[in-house]
Every structure is written in C-alpha cells, then in structure tokens.
Amino acid sequence: MEEQIKAMRQKIEAAAAAITDSKEMYQLRKQYLDNKAGQISALMKNMRDLAPEDRPAFGKIVNELKTWALDFFTAQDARLKAAELAKKNAAEQIDVTMPAKPHKAGALHPNTLIANELIDIFAGMGFTIFEGPEIENDYYNFTALNTPKDHPARDMQDTFYVSPELLLRTQTSAGQIRVMEKNQPPIKILSPGKVFRSDDDATHSPMFSQMEGLVVDKGITLCDLQGMLDVFAQNVFGENVKTRLRPSYFPFTEPSVEVDVSCFECGGKGCRLCKDTGWIEVLGAGMVNRKVLENCGVDPDVYTGFAFGMGIERIAMLKYGIPNIKMLFESDVRVLSQFNE
C-alpha cells in the first residue's frame, strides 16, 4: 500500500514538472484532489476493502499524501503565477526613453487667418457678423442691388445659374439686401462668405471668399468709409500704409470707388508688387445707392450708408506674398503650414 502511495506521489511530481501553465496545473490538481472524482479521494474509498485493524494506518498515510498534495499544488500554483506575471510585466514594459512618433500640429488656412483678422478689426469698430446663403435668389444677388435683368453690369460677373431664378451668389453684397430688408438703421454689419464666378486664372478662382461691410445711419459720408478703411489697411498691411479712393462703377453704390493702399513692399516708390505705381488695389466700395435703400424700405432722404467688398484670397496673397490663387485651394501642407502666426 505504501508503495502505491509513493508511486502516486512520484507521478504527481513528474506530471507537474512538465507543466508550465497555471491553468493546466489547476487541471492536474483537480485530477488528484477533486472531492468527488479526485484520485486521492478514490484511495480513501479503498478503505472499505481493508481489514478493520489496517484501516487507521492506511487512513493516516492517505491523509499525509493529501496534505502533501495540497501544499505541493499551492506551491506550484504560486511558482507558475509568479512566472506568468513576470512574463506579462516584461511584455508590457514601456521604454520611456524611446523617441515619440512625430506629430504635426495643424495650421489655420491663410483665408481663415485673414478672415479672423478682418473680423477682429471691424468688431473693434462695432460691426456684427451676418452670413447669407451661398445659393441666392436672382433678386438679392442682382435685381435689388439695382442690377435688373437687362443691365449691362451683369456681364461684369459670369454667373453660375442653378435655375432661372436661383444662382450661386457672385457677391456677398446680396447680404446687404437681406440685412436692410429686415432691419432699420443704424446698421453696421460685416458679412464673410464664399462667392462663385465663372472665372479661372492665376488670380481668379471659380470659388473664392469675400468680406462685405455695410454701414447705414443718419449722416454717413464717404469720409467715414475712408476713415474705417484706413484702420483696416494699417492693421493688415502696416502702420504707414495710406489709402486712396479712385472713381469706379458698381450699380448698387453711387458714387462708387476702388480703394488702393500705398505699396507696403516699397513704401510707394514703385516695385514689382505694385507694378511701379506705388499703389495696390484692394477692394471696391461706395455710398449705398438711393435705389437700393428704397428697395429695402429704408428712407434715402433720412439715411445714407456706405458699403465695401473685398476678396479674402486677394488680401491673403498680397499679405503673405502668395503668387498663385490655386495655392490656396490645393491643400498642400508644405504651403499652408507657413502662415501660422
């Protein structure tokens, strides 16, 4: 009988020596120590076949085997679990000295930089923002702006029509009508947005962005326009920059002007940027035409106003020295990452 016990003990030791996984070890433990099906429990059942005087001695050695096995498996379990934990820790180790993956920070698009700058400048003078729709009625884009269907000025802008009455707005000036139709003066709004014209070369794109300004109140004059544009020009292009107004034509302003800034590159002496003229054209503007005020239900005998509209890409190209408008639409990170200030 003792031989049998000894053999079982050796069998357990041999089986355990071949096991490297704590789950497998648990299975082995069950095989011997399970209360019902375990082989050691089965030994106890053999007791019935023994003579009564042999039973105590047999019970003792089986119990010793059981105590030994319990200790043995507890130790095996601890050994394997410790090894497994060590392995897991080694696999999850973080090398804090490893160089980080390079991570490029994004940059604001030059259009966004200019639009933000303009909004900051004009908000400082009390302007609020109005945004109109990109698909516009012919009425708001043209007719109400004193540009009826047969007006030759419609040819100034090659329009994308969506239907006979709907079009992709060609100018943010459409917003002037939407604002004045709903609000009586005083009005002081700045209106940024995308506009569309069938036009495509190094300085023109079929989609570009404009910033419109509109001020209507009692006693507004062209001097107010120039004063505000001086603030704009000096903030965007430099303290010493001057503005000049040249006569021009827009159906919705009377008089109409083109606004030039003195060349910030050469100080007005003449250079490549200003084509030796000393001046650079930056925007169109004028006093709001009486007819436009009337179209919106604003009394032109009581109120006057001015409006201006500038191309955001044009300002960005001038300010950052970008030679081709396409560079603003190609999303080339090597170009765009240069302008974050």
Residues that bind ligand PHE (CB under 6 A): 171, 173, 212, 250, 253, 284-286, 307-309
Is 258 in contact with 245 (CB distance < 8 Å)?
Answer: yes
Least distance in Å: CB of 308 to ligand PHE? Answer: 5
Distance CA 189, CA 305 (A): 12
Q: Nearer to ligand PHE by C-beta: 173 or 304?
A: 173
Least distance in Å: CB of 319 to ligand PHE? Answer: 19
Is 174 in contact with 132 (CB distance < 8 Å)?
Answer: yes
Q: Nearer to ligand PHE by C-beta: 285 or 322?
A: 285
Beta bridge partners of 147: none
Least distance in Å: CB of 282 to ligand PHE? Answer: 11
Q: Nearer to ligand PHE by C-beta: 80 or 180?
A: 180
Among 146, 5, 155, 153, smallest CA distance to 68 is for 5
Least distance in Å: CB of 245 to ligand PHE? Answer: 12
List strands edge to edge, sheet with 304-311. 128-129, 187-196, 207-217, 304-311, 279-288, 253-262, 243-250
Q: Nearer to ligand PHE by C-beta: 62 or 307?
A: 307
**Could you count the other beta carbons within 10 Å of the beta carbon of residue 237?**
20
Least distance in Å: CB of 285 to ligand PHE? Answer: 5
Q: Nearer to ligand PHE by C-beta: 69 or 287?
A: 287
Structure tokens at 27: 């299975």
In the bound complex, which residue of the shown chain has the CB atom lying closest to ligand PHE?
A: 309
- Give 137's Cβ-side CA count (13 Å radius): 9
